[in-house]
């Protein structure tokens, strides 16, 4: 195969590049470039004009970036050349009058696009990854891209076109099952089987300068290395066969779905595409904040979005497609509100993310809902403040950003002391969505299922960032790793290793916290208790001051008057946890509302006595056990 001919092409609009690369590779290059009104820095020789498009390596440049006076040549040989003039929107020279009026301080930036589609947003946000993948394909290297499935339609063929190659997309042809043979009905062909059959045909028919695109490699050949399905084995054999090994592949997989290592090793490079970057590189080479480049002018004006607004924290975990969906949702929700603010936009985006997930929710617990524990609150406030302020570090200190704060907290102490309440309050203070997972929900008797569930949890948390994952009964999945050969020990070790892998892979821009609650801190694996991973906070039984605050909080919540008897209740509830104090006021409310017994001091005293008897019985029962 001969080397492609280099050709420097000048275009008026960035979109023209996609249009040119989207033409049939066998089309004559001169006809394609003329159809899209392209010009050339060097003239095209007459013997080259009729050559097919795939014989050329096209390098695109915007006409606005061409030095004025440069001679440009039409793609059709024999046509007189042109001289590059300054573009109509170029800035006038200093002597041409007063400088253009700058945007008013505090006004939305005029650099927001007028309109932007999901496809354009994806290709802008991930231009670096797209170009990296395209350059590898040009070098006939196979590429595996890990990204959300919602991005695949906007990336698959575009990357191949940008590489100057012809995409051969693996997709279902909708064929019906084969007719019965010799009077016996043929078994119904599954989608996997039909795709494998189609893939065999493509592998046999693939030609030079064509790239085989597999949009859903994880669904076609996913699974654990030790438990491969028949289809996965067939796929691996096919891609490593004589014909398959010669194919240039571009495949996609979702980060929450495992791909066997033996299959992933077929690709020379793996590229991860996740969230939205802080800066977006335009086709002109200029870099803009994503909250400027991916939000339209109308949306920015509606919510008074300014370039210095700290909105990226709420956009970082969203893919460009989800970001555009969230902005359309927010614009529609506040359509009749001309005074909408950035704070309302942030709250609406947070609600949108919670609605997109079946597990994450918006917490409604604040510090005021937790009585006492002022020292714990102060320590958490300080840590969260440092996390927020770390985003404003100067450039020379940005490399320290991930080291300033831990990646999560562990709340430990006796049952009923409010550890989960603290987790919800932290998420609320963090302006985050929250998901509470019971430790035993993650464990599974099947090999690899526990790790898969953890991967899914963290992948969903990244999409909902800023987010908080709470592992209740954390010791059930993060216990100390042992050296036993039994299946339970191996499964537990694998889940701890998976948690460590996920936490060490946190992106600084995607704000996430992992909170574990446990009654047995000594059971937690020591690797998780390192200062850079988890900070431990004891939530002990409330002391006298904490009980006084807890009584006031629940008395206000259940509308039970305690004037004059607060100190008596504080003395009567020694060694009670917060949940037992809450139960006292809950019973008082029920008695007043449904039994006609108002919460008098005598009534509250009787309830305290009943709870004391119940606690004694519980302690006696534990002693017998």
Same domain, 603 and 523: no
Residue 225 exposed, middle or buried by CB count within 10 Å (0-12, 13-18, 19+): middle
Indicate if 239 and 143 belong to the same structural domain.
Answer: yes
Give the pLDDT confidence of 426-476 residue by residue, as tens digits: 888 888 888 888 877 777 766 677 787 888 888 888 888 888 888 888 888
Residue 109 lies in a domain: no
User: Does 97 map to a domain?
Assistant: no
- Each as own residue / partner, the long-range contacts of residues 331-337 (CB below 8 Å, 24 or more positions apart, any chain) are 331/298, 331/299, 331/302, 334/302, 334/303
Burial 68-105 (b: 16+ CB within 10 A, else e): eeeebbbbeeeeeeeebeeeeeeeeeeeeeeeeeeeee
Kind and range of the H or E run holding 474: none
Residue 90 domain flag: no
Cβ pair 95, 113 in contact under 8 A? no
Strongest mean pLDDT among 45-49, 132-136, 491-495: 132-136
What separation in angstroms does the CA of 493 have from each of 83, 466, 502? Answer: 69, 28, 14
Specify whether 479 is located in the same domain as 340.
no
Indicate the residue among 519, 538, 557 that finishes a domain: 538
**Do residue 389 and residue 479 come from a single domain?**
yes
Q: Are residues 217 and 334 in the same domain?
A: no
580, 615 in Cβ contact below 8 A? yes
The predicted pLDDT at position 111 comes to 83
Q: Is the torsion defined by CA of 538, 542, 548, 550 positive or negative?
A: positive
* CATH classification at residue 261: 3.40.50.300
- pLDDT of residue 150 exceeding 70, the answer is yes
Q: Do 377 and 427 belong together in one domain?
A: yes
For residues 415 and 527, membership in a common domain is answered with: yes
HEC per residue, 316-357:
CCCCHHHHHHHHHHHHHHCCCCCCCCHHHHHHHHHHHHHHHC
**Are 56 and 143 members of one domain?**
no
Instruction: Give the model's confidence band at 327: pLDDT under 50 very low, under 70 low, under 90 confident, else very high.
Output: very high
Same domain for 462 and 334: no
**What is the distance, to the nearest Å, from the Cα of residue 60 to the centroid of all Cα atoms in its chain?**
32
- Is position 340 within any domain? yes
Give how many domains the chain has, as a whole number: 5
pLDDT higher at 22 or 570: 570
Instruction: Give the domain range for residue 595.
Output: 544-624
Helices (H) and strands (E) counted in the chain, each on its own, are 23, 17
Task: Tell me the pLDDT tens digit for each residue of 53-94.
Answer: 878 878 878 887 777 777 888 888 777 777 665 444 433 444
Is 60 exceeded by the pLDDT of residue 487? no
Residue 353, Cβ neighbours under 10 Å: how many? 24
Asked if residue 478 is part of any domain, the answer here is yes
Same structural domain for residues 137 and 252? yes
Q: What is the mean pLDDT of residues 162-185?
A: 70
Strand partners, 82: 72
- The residue from 64, 85, 106 where one domain ends is 85
High-pLDDT (> 90) share of the chain, %: 15
Instruction: Identify whether 164 is part of a domain.
Output: yes
Given 219, 237, 272, the domain boundary residue is: 272
Residues 286 and 372 placed together within one structural domain of the fold: no
Nearest to 276 by CA among 295, 262, 260: 295
**Residue 473 domain flag:** yes
pLDDT of residue 531: 78
The CATH number that applies at residue 550 is 1.10.8
> Is the residue at 37 inside a domain?
yes
Residues 245 and 389 in one domain: no
């Amino acid at each position: 195969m001969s080397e492609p001919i280099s050709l420097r092409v000048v275009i008026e609009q960035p979109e023209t590049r996609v249009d040119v690369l989207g033409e049939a590779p066998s089309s004559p290059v001169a006809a394609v470039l003329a159809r899209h009104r392209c010009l050339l820095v060097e003239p095209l020789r007459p013997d080259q004009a009729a050559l097919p498009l795939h014989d050329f390596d096209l390098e695109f440049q915007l006409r606005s970036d061409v030095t004025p006076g440069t001679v440009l040549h039409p793609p059709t040989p024999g046509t007189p050349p042109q001289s590059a003039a300054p573009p109509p929107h170029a800035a006038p020279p200093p002597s041409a009058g007063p400088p253009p009026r700058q945007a008013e301080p505090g006004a939305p930036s005029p650099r927001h696009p007028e309109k932007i589609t999901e496809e354009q947003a994806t290709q802008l946000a991930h231009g670096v990854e797209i170009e990296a993948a395209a350059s590898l394909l040009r070098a006939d290297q196979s590429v595996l891209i890990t990204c959300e499935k919602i991005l695949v339609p906007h990336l698959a063929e575009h990357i191949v076109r940008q590489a100057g190659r012809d995409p051969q997309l693996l997709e279902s042809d909708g064929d019906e099952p084969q007719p019965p043979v010799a009077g016996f009905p043929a078994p119904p062909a599954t989608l996997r089987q039909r795709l494998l059959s189609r893939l065999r045909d493509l592998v046999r028919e693939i030609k030079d300068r064509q790239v085989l695109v597999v949009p859903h490699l994880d669904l076609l050949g996913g699974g654990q290395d030790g438990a491969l399905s028949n289809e996965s084995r067939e796929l691996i054999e096919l891609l490593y066969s004589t014909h398959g090994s010669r194919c240039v592949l571009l495949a996609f997989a979702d980060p929450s779905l495992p791909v066997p290592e033996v299959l992933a090793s077929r690709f020379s490079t793996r590229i991860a595409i996740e969230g939205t970057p802080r800066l977006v590189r335009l086709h002109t080479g200029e870099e803009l904040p994503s909250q400027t480049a991916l939000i339209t002018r109308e949306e920015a004006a509606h919510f008074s979005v300014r370039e210095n607004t700290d909105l990226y924290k709420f956009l970082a975990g969203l893919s460009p497609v989800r970001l555009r969906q969230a902005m359309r949702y927010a614009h529609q929700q506040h359509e009749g509100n001309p005074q909408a603010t950035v704070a309302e936009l942030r709250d609406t985006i947070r609600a949108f993310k919670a609605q997109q997930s079946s597990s994450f929710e918006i917490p409604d617990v604040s510090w005021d809902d937790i009585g006492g524990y002022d020292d714990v609150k102060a320590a958490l406030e300080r840590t969260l403040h440092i996390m927020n302020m770390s985003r404003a570090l100067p450039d020379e200190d940005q490399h320290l950003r991930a080291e300033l704060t831990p990646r999560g907290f562990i709340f430990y102490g006796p049952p009923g002391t409010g550890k989960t309440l603290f987790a919800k309050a932290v998420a609320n203070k963090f302006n985050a969505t929250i998901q509470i997972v019971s430790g035993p929900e993650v464990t599974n008797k099947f090999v690899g299922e526990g790790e898969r569930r953890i991967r899914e949890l963290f992948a969903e948390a990244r999409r909902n960032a800023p987010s908080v994952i709470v592992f209740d009964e954390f010791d059930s999945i993060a216990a100390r790793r042992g050296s036993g050969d039994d299946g339970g020990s191996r499964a537990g070790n694998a889940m701890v290793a998976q948690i460590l892998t996920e936490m060490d892979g946190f992106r600084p821009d995607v704000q996430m916290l992992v909170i574990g609650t446990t009654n047995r801190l000594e059971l937690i694996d020591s690797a998780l208790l390192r200062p850079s991973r988890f900070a431990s906070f004891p939530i002990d039984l409330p002391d006298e001051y904490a009980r006084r605050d807890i009584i006031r909080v629940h008395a206000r919540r259940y509308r039970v008057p305690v004037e004059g008897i607060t100190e008596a209740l504080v003395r009567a509830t020694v060694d009670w946890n917060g949940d037992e104090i809450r139960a006292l006021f809950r019973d008082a409310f029920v008695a007043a509302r449904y039994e006609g017994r108002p919460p008098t001091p005598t009534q509250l005293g009787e309830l305290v006595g009943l709870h004391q008897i119940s606690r004694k019985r519980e302690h006696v029962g534990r002693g017998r056990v």
